[in-house]
Amino acid sequence: MEISESIFWMGNRLATNCVEISKDPADLSKPGFWVVVNTFEGDWFCARFTDVQDAPLPISPWAGIDGKWHSSQSQTSYEANVHQIKELIAKGEIYQVNLCRVLSNDCDQSLLGLANLLQKSNPAPYASYLSLPGLEIASASPELFLQRSGDQIKSTPIKGTALEDNFGEKDKAENVMIVDLMRNDFGAICQPGSIDVPRLLASESHPGLFHLVSDITGVLKSNQSWQEILTALLPAGSISGAPKSSAIKVISQIEKNERGPYCGVIGWIENNQALLSVGIRIFWSKQDGQINFGTGAGITWQSDPNSEWEETELKAKRLISIADGVKV
């Protein structure tokens, strides 16, 4: 496809007429409406669009997917990796790690039709669709990575997933741990004394499940570029672990494949305004005849390996069924 054929949609904003694609986050400080994807591994896709309007997602059909989904980790491997992480926790090398796997299947359709179906069957507060040369994403993300208005910023990490509105001590402890991590990340870019947690351990209802969330807010220091801001915050604490640097190292050693845009960031930046989601509950394709979907769970000392596997199944079940064309 040509650059000019690229489109982006999020929050009822439709962007067309892409005129520039960059791999350099320094370009995000240039004027204009920029669509941003940062992969978990740190690769950047920055696309500048000139036509932005309030509009619904363009309509497109979806025929469903035939065939079996293949997981990057079997249940046996995943549970063994949970044990391995718990051993590292026992040694004091790590406190929490988000362990993920990627499901893949054959697909030669545009994901625009799937994005339409997700909007109907699994509406999400930070849903989006993106089509660029070599990358297509249909997102039903429930998680806010960063909202900016002027010098005010906010993040709402998710830690805790359940079928019912009833969260255990593991979920609460994990959520507080990530809130502390995010407060520390905000500390590098926010004015002293401005960081607050106005909402802690709140339950949110989403299609098919409940999430435990918290809000972190702050006021940015003066004269910081977008590259400086995002470098301080990426990757998101909720999908990496704590301490973050140690968690990233463990993830790179244990997981057998790249996450790509899954667990990355997807959204838009326009001067000193921004809305960026965490790349969870997303389908993506490199336009190579394959569709991918990621799922994961946060591993702590209290984790039961089978329960963590079941959490990844819970997070994937509804959306995979939608992609398969099964009514939910």
Q: Cβ distance 35 to 268 under 8 Å?
A: yes
For residue 7, what is the enclosing H or E element? strand 7-10
Q: Which of 159, 244, 255, 311 is catalytic?
A: 159
Confidence of residue 69 (pLDDT cuts 50, 70, 90): very high
Q: What is the mean pLDDT of residues 196-221?
A: 96
Q: What pLDDT, in 10s, does the model give residues 230-267?
A: 999 999 999 999 999 999 999 999 998 899 999 999 99
Q: Note the pLDDT of residue 2.
A: 83
Q: Residue 115: which of 105, 106, 126 has the closest Cα?
A: 126
**Percent helix, percent strand, percent coil in the chain, to nearest 5:** 30, 40, 35
Q: Note the pLDDT of residue 4.
A: 83
Q: Note the pLDDT of residue 1.
A: 79
Q: Is 118 helix (H, G, I), strand (E, B) or coil?
A: helix
Q: Cβ distance 163 to 315 under 8 Å?
A: no
Confidence of residue 130 (pLDDT cuts 50, 70, 90): very high
**Rounded Cα–Cα distance for residues 242 and 247 (Å):** 6
Residue 121: pLDDT over 90: yes
Give, in degrees to the nearest 5, the angle at Cα 24 between 258 and 243: 50
Q: What percent of the chain has pLDDT over 90?
A: 95
**Rounded Cα–Cα distance for residues 78 and 306 (Å):** 9
Q: Note the pLDDT of residue 280.
A: 97
DSSP string, 223-280: S--HHHHHHHHPSPGGGTEESHHHHHHHHHHH-SS--TTTTSEEEEEETTEEEEEE--
pTM: 0.96
- What type of residue is 10? M
Q: Note the pLDDT of residue 126.
A: 98
Residue 143 among the catalytic residues: yes
- φ, ψ for residue 110 (rounded to 5)? -70, 140
Q: What is the residue-averaged pLDDT of the chain?
A: 96
Q: Note the pLDDT of residue 256.
A: 82
Q: Note the pLDDT of residue 180.
A: 96
- φ, ψ for residue 188 (rounded to 5)? -75, -20
Confidence of residue 328 (pLDDT cuts 50, 70, 90): confident
Domain that holds residue 37: 3-58+67-324
Confidence of residue 58 (pLDDT cuts 50, 70, 90): very high
CATH classification at residue 178: 3.60.120.10
**Rounded Cα–Cα distance for residues 144 and 278 (Å):** 6
> Which residue in the block uniquely carries the two structure tokens 């301080």?
232
Q: Note the pLDDT of residue 327.
A: 80
How many CB atoms within 10 Å of residue 56? 10
Residue 326: pLDDT over 80: yes
Q: What is the mean pLDDT of residues 118-122?
A: 96
- φ, ψ for residue 323 (rounded to 5)? -65, -35
Q: Which of 86, 136, 143, 255 is catalytic?
A: 143
How many CB atoms within 10 Å of residue 106? 13
Residue 26: pLDDT over 90: yes
Q: What is the mean pLDDT of residues 82-99?
A: 96
Residue 327 among the catalytic residues: no
Q: Residue 264: which of 249, 250, 242, 280 has the closest Cα?
A: 280
**Rounded Cα–Cα distance for residues 299 and 100 (Å):** 10
Indicate the number of domains in the chain: 1
